[in-house]
A and B are shown apart, each in its own frame.
Chain A
Amino acid sequence: MSRDRRTVLDHRADSDPALTARAGTAVRRAPAPALAEDSRLAVDIRGLVERGEMELARERFGELVGLHQRRASRIAFQYLRDAADADEAVQDAFVKVFTHIDSYREAWPFAVWFTRILINGCLDRRKARARRDRWFVAEASASDEARAVGRTTGADPERALLARERRSRVAAAVDRLDGRQRTVFMLCHYGDCTPREVGVMTGLKESTVRVHLFRAVRRLRALLGGAP
């Protein structure tokens, strides 16, 4: 899922200085973990588990966790909007991956397999939370959010408040998307997945994924007024 961003935009940036800044923003994206590396690691771990070398397998698995945990945490947080829940979901996904590593097949990239497990876990948690919220008052993890806002915006309370409002608007808009559109949008946009990979994860055709993504973006732009 690593991207080479040599692009149309770069073309335009040459002729249009207004686009140069935006192109710069796009290039700032964090590089995703190398696909081949994680798949190879997963195959190695599977071999170690099959041979009963559990200690070594766990050690190697730590490397795999290190490669994916940041992206996984980001996806889980966007899904669950709660840091503690997201943390648990990520941990559960990794534990599940290790305990079922023998069923991993290298026909698909490890990231696809892992993300699928993670998303299923997140969806289960969302369902459980919806059931719980029917009976109990939902408890917001304000401390996490406040800490996050404080970190990102320094000591300026006005900026902190604005950032917080903006995020809650975006989160509310994403939450208003249809279930499938939300999944596709999150995987594509926050999870660094291509439409083809999202198709594999969700069992949809690539063209269907593109349609869902287009509708999701159109709806988000309508809800947010063109700017996040």
Chain B
Amino acid sequence: MIRRTQHLSEERLLDCYLNERDGVVVDPRVAEHLTDCAPCGKRYADLAGFMDGLRSEAETEADAIFTPERLRAQQVQVARRLESASRPSRVLAFPGQFARRAFNVSTVRTAPRWIAAAAAAGLFVGLGLGAAYRWEIPAGHAVVRTMTARSVPPSPSLSRADGSQDDEFMSELEVALDRPRTRELVAIDAFTPHFREIREDTTPR
């Protein structure tokens, strides 16, 4: 016997409810306790009331939607689907306007052959042209380079390697970059002797 001081847990109450519902024999000690212990009996009644309430609510709702007519219609629909599923598949007739066009065996077979031949010819021509193009360009370049080397005489200005031209170039650069863009560097720039000034100083007058 389960002592009264030890009340039944919620799990045991739910088990008891399920067993009762499913027609399984309930543990006699639990049954006895439920009969004797008022608080447990009340908890059990609350639980069972809650569960049965949920259930009856759901049943009422479903029964109102799935009326006998609707269930009958569902049954008919199932039967129809089964019948159509068991029937062999039907081949749909081709539309008349296309069916009237005569496709004989020779045209159907020769068309792909022509396509294949044209593709092969195109490929061959493409490869040939591509190869010729690739060979010609380096050869052309070489010829041009040789011709340039032979025909253009050496420029006297290029061949003259005196430092005056370099100086001019450097001066131009310095003029271009005369003013430093950063304000903080202006002072440093003022103290730095410029190439142009040095040259002017050293140039014999």
A binding-site residues for B, Cβ under 8 Å = 2-9, 11-12, 15-16, 18-19, 22, 25-26, 28-30, 54, 58, 61-62, 65-66, 69-70, 73-74, 77-78, 83, 86-87, 90-91, 94-95, 98-99, 144-145, 147-149, 151-152, 166-167, 170, 188-190, 194-195, 210, 213-214, 217-218, 220-221, 224, 226-228
Contact = CB atoms under 8 A, between A and B. Distances in A.
Nearest to A25: B52
A2 B44 CA distance: 23
17 contacts: A9-B20, A11-B31, A30-B59, A58-B86, A62-B78, A65-B75, A70-B71, A77-B61, A87-B66, A87-B70, A95-B85, A98-B85, A151-B64, A151-B67, A167-B61, A170-B54, A190-B58
B197 interface: no
Interface stretch (B7-15, B116-124, B169-177): B7-15
Nearest to A19: B45
B49 interface: yes
Contacts of B21: 3, 5, 26
Contacts of A220: 50, 54
Contact of B34 (A6, A8, A194, A213): A8
Interface stretch (B22-30, B99-107, B138-146, B155-163): B22-30
Interface of B: 10-11, 14-16, 18, 20-24, 26, 30-31, 34-35, 41, 44-67, 70-71, 74-75, 77-79, 81-83, 85-86
Q: Which 5 A-B pairs have the closest CB atoms?
A: A4-B23, A148-B64, A7-B20, A74-B62, A151-B64
A86 B52 CA distance: 23
Nearest to B87: A54
Contact of A149 (B55, B62, B64, B81): B64
Contact of A144 (B47, B56, B65): B65
A195 B18 contact: yes
Given A4-B23, A166-B57, A26 B62 contact: no
B57 A228 contact: yes
Nearest to A173: B54
B157 to A, nearest CB: 75
Contact of A227 (B14, B50, B83): B50
Contacts of A94: 78
Nearest to A148: B64
B56 to A, nearest CB: 7
Main secondary structure of the interface of A (DSSP, over half): helix
A12 B41 contact: yes
Contacts of B14: 210, 213-214, 217
A76 to B, nearest CB: 9
Contacts of A19: 41, 45
Given A4-B23, A73-B74, 15 more contacts: A5-B21, A8-B16, A9-B48, A22-B45, A26-B48, A26-B52, A54-B86, A58-B79, A58-B86, A65-B78, A74-B58, A90-B74, A167-B57, A188-B18, A189-B51
Given A7-B20, A65-B78, A167-B61, A190 B45 contact: no
Nearest to B33: A8
Contacts of A166: 57
A95 B35 CA distance: 49
B86 A62 contact: no
Contacts of B20: 5, 7-9
Contacts of B60: 152
B56 A78 contact: no
B71 A69 contact: yes
A184 to B, nearest CB: 12
Nearest to A164: B61
B26 A8 contact: yes
A29 B51 CA distance: 12
Nearest to B11: A214
A83 B66 contact: yes
Most chain A CB inside 10 Å of its own CB: which residue of B11, B45, B58:
B58
Contacts of A73: 62, 66, 71, 74
